[in-house]
Amino acid sequence: MNVNLLAATQTVEKTMPFVFYRWLVFLGLALGFLLSALAGAGTAIAMSSFSSDPTMFANFGAILGFGAFGWLLYRFRTSVATAVATPHLLLLARVIQGDAIPAGKAQLQFAKQAHAERLPPEIDPRLLATKARATLGALPLLQGLTLIPCPVDKLMPVVERLSAWVSASNADAVLAHAATDPQHSPWNAARLAILRQARNLKTYLRQRGYVTLFVLAGWIAAYTVLLVPSLKLAAALPFATSFWPYVVAGVLSWNLKASFLDPIAQAAMIRLDLAMDAAEPPPEVSARLTAALADFRDICARAAESP
């Protein structure tokens, strides 16, 4: 069974009002990075204004400002996920399941309301996503699978970490299933989705690898296109811009990746997940994961509290 990127793109097209909203949010974050860098550079120049070279520490100040905004974004990443990523996962899953969703601005309210009803704060969707990622990230090593064969022993740790990261990325499909399964509680739905991935890990790992390559290729293409005007603008400025044109192109291309490429990847894996056999795997699959993985044990315990 293979992912269908064309079908995934068509799915994302049906959620374009939310995609546009997503683009605005991530554009704001991208501009926040750049404005923070400018503010840091300006502060450094102001503090060095009485020196012989006031711009001496401008780059250092810009890096500090850029890093400070990145730290703030990391601290408040849950708010971004709650406002943008998870509701969009729910929308994509609804479209793939054949459910009708509103058009226009009503789509945003529909997604947020459905998210609030299915994944309220007491469910703790952030914790659910964190534990799902940790569990899925541990599966390749537990089952002795890697994304690519590695004939060089010294490179095996790198390949294992790459395989763990790719597998953990499939937590999006788990979260989408938890948000849309009407027959089970979110925690129990997540448990079943993880077991399904564990039983078919080779397929999930390989297909997610293909999707990751698609996203990476698209990101590189966007970066290359945006780098040209960024360098031209930098060349027209009356002062040296150092490496910052490359940073600007990277941040703006990240916005396009997060807004358009990531949803396509998520839709592709959700579609693959829904096409898999929904029957619960044999008990020994769950027993093995429960014995080996503390995060999965916690998921099972919470699922037992609200089946």
Nearest to 139 by CA among 305, 281, 306: 281
Nearest to 8 by CA among 199, 282, 270, 206: 270
pLDDT at 260 over 90: yes
Q: pTM of the full predicted structure?
A: 0.90
Please count the other Cβ atoms lying within 10 Å of the Cβ belonging to residue 77. 12
Q: Find the domain containing 156 and state its range.
A: 5-305
Mean pLDDT of 139-154: 87
pLDDT grade for 76, boundaries at 50, 70 and 90: confident
Domain count, the chain: 1
Instruction: Please tell me the predicted confidence (pLDDT) of residue 124.
Output: 85
Nearest to 231 by CA among 242, 215, 221: 242
